[in-house]
Amino acid sequence: MKERIEWHKKQRGDAWDTYEEPLRIADVIKSIGVEYKVIILDCLTLWLSNLMYADLKITDSINAFIDVLKNVGTGQALPDKLNTYKFNSSNF
């Protein structure tokens, strides 16, 4: 994984900032969201796998992620239809 990350950094060049966070991506977005017009998340599937492996409550992490997306920048990160959607444990 470290080799893949380094390859990606090299491909993107110095103009890109890279933040590595396997679990708490909502916290990272909240802390850096005002600094950037665009944030690219590489692999939400891997993030969900990391949450399951760490035995964290997935629904809380997803809701935190949705909440932070609604409040970063213009708030247009998710379509209006999803802005009020909350995951619950019955979905998993």
**Active site residues per annotation:** 8
Structural contact between residues 77 and 70, judged by C-beta atoms closer than 8 angstroms: yes
Residues recorded for the chain: 92
Instruction: Please give the Cα distance from 68 to 70 (Å, whole number).
Output: 5
Q: Tell me, rounded to whole angstroms, the distance of Cα 70 from its chain centroid.
A: 12
The percent helix, strand, coil of the chain (3-state, each to 5) is 60, 0, 40
